[in-house]
Structure 1
Amino acid sequence: MTAAAKDLDLSVLPPEYRAAFEAQAARVAELEETNQRQEHLIAEMHHALYGKKSEKLNEDDRQLAFEDLEVALAEVEEKKSEQVPGDEKPKRKRVAKRNRGNLPEGLPRIEQVIEPDSLECPCGCGLMHRIGEDRNERLDILPAQCRVIVTVRPKYACRTCTDGITQAPTPPWLIEGGLPTEGAIAHVLVSKYADHLPLYRQSQILARSGIDIHRSTLADWVGVAAFHLRPVVDRLAEHLKTSTKLFMDETTAPVLDPGRGRTKTGFLWALARDDRSWGGDDPPGVVYFYAPGRHGEHAETFLTGFNGILQIDGYPGYNRLTRPARKGGDPVIVAHCWAHARRKLKEIFDRDGSEIAAEGLRRIAEIYAIEKDIRGTRPGQRLSARQTRSDPLVAAFGDWLQAQRLRISAKSRLGEKLAYIHRHWDGLQTFLTDGRVEIDSNSVENLVRPIALNRKNALFAGHDEGGRAWGRIASLIETCKINGVEPFAYLKSTLGAIAADHPKNRIDDLLPWNFQPST
């Protein structure tokens, strides 16, 4: 609320005017916040371009920095347009002029003629006749094929009277008046976040086909898509957090820091559900949350509303989730990962062939052999087998662990590895008390590998905002993949549904596991 608005005495206004004033003031405050974010992003872009000579980036670094800054700016602009009532919306410059009218003539063109519902003259004079048409060309992208969709909307008028012209309305587009179809946008998203192609490389690939689409234009498309897909990802996260058992892991997401001319370390936190190993009814899914650091408070924020068992590695940042004072829910029960415990011993064995490490590995292998036997059975059967067969082995391992810690110096490398297992001993036994719990967190580790591949190919995100868009779109793509859904088909369909004003109360229909490909 502005300073002038705060000085007004609203009590003197009639209730209906007071409510309207408060609603308008809230909208102004929201717009001011959006403007501040936009100004901040523009300032960062200018700093990256015109900063001190020592802070200037090389050409490749600048491309990545501008790419994600422009994605963020496009998302802010889309948010601003959504905040303004329909009759007040300004005409937003959706596509750079340099990309208009230069679609190669050799590209295949598919005409979609959209006729009005009726050609009857409103005055009853008979059928209208065609007097012209409007044509729009949008770039559509199919895998390994580019084409131009030409939308033709004939105009009809009556020969007898001059009471009006009939023409079909323009079909809904995600980017109104823009160049790309929803299929083209989906292709760019899959190429960037699944195939690990930065936008400037995609621009180069298109140029080889004679299509001059600048990287900044592609960034605009991604930003608009990221804005409109956010409610779907938020709903996906809500759905996952209704479960009582989830996996969580985090991986680095290097982010460019233009002020210092180098990268800083951000993190993508993966929150996943995968109950397939025991035949759970809930579909698998994953959401990647971006945070500028690895502090446990980020995990606490991302897990707001979740109560139950969390399967994790040994990172101590998760310890705050088990405290009675945990924010956002009850203290979680942690299930630690036996694969991590095994790796500690494997490191020692590979280094010096330790017989103690070899014995630990043998004991863990016996526990894993039981897990292999019961994989795919129902939780009750898994729990019964574990209590009967695994519990004695785990107890014996615990006794062996304590005996070795008394023999080995705590400062030795082996002593440090044994101490690690000891610190997480309670969590390593959680799988013995619940048949739904896995013996390790390998399921979520497999889901952070695509992030690592993208990191390797794209090197880093260009901005914190780019890290958030990265996590958001990767969430949908990876959830598609683990549900056997083709990501391009899903994103094309979902973006088309959003463009057509898909009802907000049916957002669950847009979740990846509910996608039904057209036949």
Structure 2
Amino acid sequence: MDLSNLTDNPDNAKNVTVKPKDDCCNHADFSPTPQNKKNCLEFDLNSFKSKLFANTSDDLSLIEKDQGRIFNEIEVSLLEEKNRPKNQKNETPCFIANENPKTKDQTISFRLIDQLPIRKIIHDIPASRKKCNCGEKLKSFGSETIDKIEILPPQINLIRHICLKYVCTKCKDSQIRIATAFPQFLPKELADVSMLAFLFVSKFCKGIPFSKLGTLFSNFGFKFNTTSFCHYAFNSYERLKYLEDDFWKELFASVSIQIIETPIIASKEKNETKTQANLYVLRGLNRGKSILRFHYIHSHNKQFLNEKLKYYKGIIQTKDIVTFKSLTSPESKISNACCWGNFRRMFSEIIATDDKHEGAIKLLNFISEIYEIEDKIKPLSREERKLYRQTVSRRVIDRIFEFIDKELKVIHTNQLYANAIQSLNSQSNQLLVFMDHPEIPLDTDLAENDIQPFVNPNENWLFSDISETAEMSTFFYSLLETAKANGYDPFLYLKSLCLKIQSGESPKLFQVD
């Protein structure tokens, strides 16, 4: 059977003619009996079915491939290692390559174990064996070395601060003098700033609930309950919440603010029922620093945005202008920059259902051309980017609206396409705002990435339906995600911030260095 003639379409399988191989029929052990011919045909047919209907991993992501191998990962990996050529086999897992070799074809590698601290254990023979049979004492002339890598659980230390006390032995009414107590972030709690940073980064950055963290500590012999961790979080928020004003000041100083919302699940403690709530993320950029502020409300009311942004004089960029139309009323000093990515998704969805739709394909190509221009001008200065947008990008946009004007005069059977071009035409002014402001991106992808972990209804992201708890949780999310967005290590950032507050300072968001 010629495998090169196999079809990828199951519907065409019945049109494939399966013929036995000539070399099979001419084999010395092969008897051209009807039964053998039938067996040969069945074998080739089964091979064809296996190739046609077998599972494929071509469309799977790397994460999906790894997840699919969890069950028999060991067996598959060992088999792959066995079948790998000798010159490609890994000699040891403790070799790493130099990132900057001297030449392109030269790879410099060194042993990772040489970089680790060494704890030596000397093994000696018993004294009774240190004499030869002739009675002479044996002399040591060397040793054999066996290396093993030891991994210890996370190290937890108890820091005991001892404050010495003094008193005069001659005076009966002498006053006791005691060393001044050191400053503490949480005076009445056992947790140090490093423990607090570990807890909050584990929960708010890595999605590990306090209950699981308590179990982790108990495995190492330390008994902490969830209530203690919650008290640590609440008391820490009381000391850190002065930064709320700093968040909004930094946002108000931004040329533009991206606003994205998503519905999330809220858990009520009293009747244990789940209600719908909304989470917002506001993302700004000031002095080259990104500012992220999460906000949680129990309903779809956007009045809080009107209150918070009533003094803002800038541009908001949203995924859908209709959702936040109240922010850009005639009385407001805020203008709106619409998201080009929203329309790119619209036309992509139309093509997904109708891959031959000429209008959607043409508009999607136009928008893709604008994105290609943006990729090319990223390294340029602010003024150069502005010039490119007002000339090169503007020519592409003019062609888009010329095409839209023609399409609006035609009656379209595809309602999704008709709605998309009408929406594009109605928001033409908002789509042009980015050309005069080089700081504004084409879309709200950054803010959408910030809110993405909350879109998936994972149990780790449940909120309690209590306003104080929601404010505290969103504050920690805002603080740590802002640190990550600016290249800070969340653990070191929060620890440094708490240490400065502990010493009596009141640092701003970015005064942690």
Same fold (TM over 0.5): yes
Say which SS state the counterpart of residue 163 (structure 2) adopts.
strand
Does 1:155 pair with 2:165? Answer: yes
**Aligned ranges for residues 125-140 of structure 1 at < 5 Å?**
none
Equivalent residue, structure 2, for 1:132:
none
Other-structure match for 1:439: 442
* Paired residues of 2:197 and 2:495 also in contact (CA < 8 A): yes
Q: For 1:378, which of 377, 381, 392 is the aligned residue?
A: 381
Q: Deviations over 1:374-399 (max 9, x none)?
A: 11322221111111111111011012
The aligned counterpart of 1:287 is 293
| Alignment counterpart, residue 511 of structure 2, candidates 511, 514, 519 | 514
| Paired residues of 2:237 and 2:472 also in contact (CA < 8 A) | yes
Deviation per residue, 1:291-346 (Å, 9 max, x gap): 223333232223232111111111523111111234xxx2x111111111100000
Q: TM-score of the superposition, structure 1-length normalised?
A: 0.65
Q: Distance in 1 between matches of 2:314 and 2:391?
A: 25
Instruction: Render the CA deviation track for 1:248-275: whole Å, top value 9, x for unaligned.
Output: 2122332113455332222222111237
Select which of 419, 429, 446 maps to 2:432: 429
Higher deviation after alignment, 345-354 or 198-207: 198-207
Instruction: Name 1:181's counterpart in structure 2.
Output: 192
- The change in CA–CA distance for 1:227 and 1:252 in structure 2 (over 3 A counts) is farther
| In structure 1, C-alpha distance between the alignment counterparts of 2:184 and 2:488, rounded to whole Å | 24
Q: Which of the numbers 442, 457, 460 marks the counterpart of 2:462?
A: 460
Q: Decide which of 481, 501, 517 is 2:504's aligned counterpart.
A: 501
- The aligned counterpart of 1:254 is 265
User: Highest CA radius of gyration, 1 or 2?
Assistant: 2
Deviation at 1:226, TM superposition (A): 1.6
Structure 1 residue 289, shift from structure 2 partner = 1.7
How many Å separate the matches in 2 of 1:315 and 1:510?
A: 33
Closer, same or farther: CA 376–469 of 1 in aligned 2, 3 Å: farther
Find the partner of 1:307 among 291, 313, 331: 313
**What is residue 322 of structure 1 aligned with on the other side?**
328
- How many aligned residue pairs are there? 359
Q: What is the aligned counterpart of 1:403 among 403, 406, 419?
A: 406
Q: Percent identity?
A: 22
Aligned partners of 1:357 and 1:501: how far apart in 2? Answer: 60
Residue of structure 2 in register with 1:211 after alignment: 222
Structure 2 counterpart SS, 1:268: strand
Moved more, 363-372 or 340-349: 363-372
Contact persistence 2:264–2:277 (CA under 8 A): yes
State yes or no: 1:363 paired with 2:361. no
SS in 2 for 1:158: coil
- Residue 477 to residue 143, structure 1, CA distance change in 2 (3 Å): farther
3-state SS of 2:282 partner: strand
Query: Match for residue 146 of structure 1?
Result: 156
SS in 1 for 2:242: helix
Give the CA deviation at 1:160: 4.0
CA RMSD of aligned residues (A): 2.3
Closer, same or farther in 2 for the Cα pair 1:289/1:310, shift >3 Å?
Answer: same
How much has 1:456 moved relative to structure 2?
A: 2.4
The alpha carbon displacement at 1:347 in A equals 0.5
For residues 179 and 158 of structure 1, what CA distance do their matches in structure 2 show? Answer: 33
How far apart are the structure 2 equivalents of 1:257 and 1:494?
33
In the alignment, is residue 394 of structure 1 matched against residue 397 of structure 2? yes
Q: Is the 8 A contact 1:410 1:419 kept in 2?
A: no
Change (3 A) 1:464 1:352: farther
Indicate the structure with greater helix content.
Answer: 1
Alignment match of 1:449 (pick from 448, 452, 460): 452
Give SS of 2:177's match.
Answer: strand
Task: Please state if 1:263 is matched with 2:274.
Answer: yes
Name the structure 2 match of 1:338: 340
Q: CA deviation at 1:143?
A: 9.8
Question: Taking structure 2 as the reference length, what is the TM-score of the superposition?
Answer: 0.66
Hey, what does 1:127 align to over in structure 2? none
Secondary structure of 1:438's aligned partner: coil
Q: What secondary structure does 1:334 align onto?
A: strand
- Shifted more, 290-299 versus 218-227: the winner is 290-299
Is 1:227 the equivalent of 2:229? no
In 2, Cα distance between equivalents of 1:416 and 1:427: 17
Match of 1:195 in 2: 206
Measure the CA separation in 2 of the matches of 1:400 and 1:258. 55
The answer to whether the 8 Å contact 2:318/2:337 transfers is yes
- Contact 1:290–1:471 (8 Å) recurs in 2: yes
